[in-house]
Amino acid sequence: MTNEANGRSISTPIMAAIFIGIAVIVFWDTTSYTDADSYVFPRAIALVMACLAVLLIIRWFLVPSPEEVSFEGANLRRLGLVLVMLGATIAMPWIGFLLSGLIAFGAILVLAMYDPWTPMRLIVYPLSGAGVVLAFYFLFSNVLQVPLPVGTVFGG
C-alpha cells in the first residue's frame, strides 16, 4: 500500500476519494425528498464531510507522512469468519436459527483453532459448543420470547 517513490502512502487520497463519493451519493439521494425538513441535515453533513476529505488530501500533499497500513495476520481466517457469519444470517429464515447457529458455531470454532486437535478437544469443544448454542436458543426463544426464525425448509 506504500508508494515508495515519494514516501507517501497513497491510501489517504483513496480513502478521501471514497468519502467524497459517499457525500455525492448522499447529495443525489436528498434530491428525491419531498419534505424540506428531511434534506437540510444530510446535505449539510455531506458537504462538511466532502470539505474535510479535501482537507485530508491537501494535508497529504503538504506534509508527507508515511502511514503504513498493515494487514498482518491470517487474512483467510478473517474472511472466513465474516463469510460464515453473513452466510448464517442469510440462511436463518430458511433453515432456522438453531441449525444455522450450530453450523456457524462449528465453522468459527475451526477457524479460531490454533491449538492442536487432541481427542479430548475434539469431543469437548463441539459438545460444549452445542450446549452453549442450545442454552442460548432456549433462553431467547422460551424465556425471553424472542420469535427466532424456525425455518421454512423443514416444514416450519
Pick out residues in 68-97 that bind another protein (CB under 8 A).
69-75, 77-78, 80-82, 85-86, 88-90, 92-93, 97
CA-based nearest residue to 102, from 115, 80, 116, 84 = 84
For residue 7, what is its C-alpha cell?
A: 514516501
For residue 44, what is its C-alpha cell?
A: 449539510
Contact track, another protein, 40-59, x by CB under 8 A: xxx--xx-xx--xx-xx--x
Q: Which helix (H) or strand (E) holds 2?
A: strand 2-3
For residue 50, what is its C-alpha cell?
A: 466532502
- Rounded to the nearest whole angstrom, what is the least distance from the CB of residue 117 to another protein in the complex? 9
CA-based nearest residue to 6, from 52, 50, 49, 62 = 62
- List the interface residues with another protein, window 120-139 (CB under 8 A): 121, 124-125, 127-138
Q: Is 148 in the site for another protein (CB under 8 A)?
A: yes
Rg (CA), the chain: 24
Candidates 109, 122, 153, 154: give the one binding another protein (CB under 8 A). Answer: 109
- Rounded to the nearest whole angstrom, what is the least distance from the CB of residue 4 to another protein in the complex? 19
Candidates 67, 118, 122, 154: give the one binding another protein (CB under 8 A). Answer: 67
Query: Using CA atoms, how far apart are residues 152 and 96, in angstroms rounded to an integer?
Result: 7
Q: Is 17 in the site for another protein (CB under 8 A)?
A: no
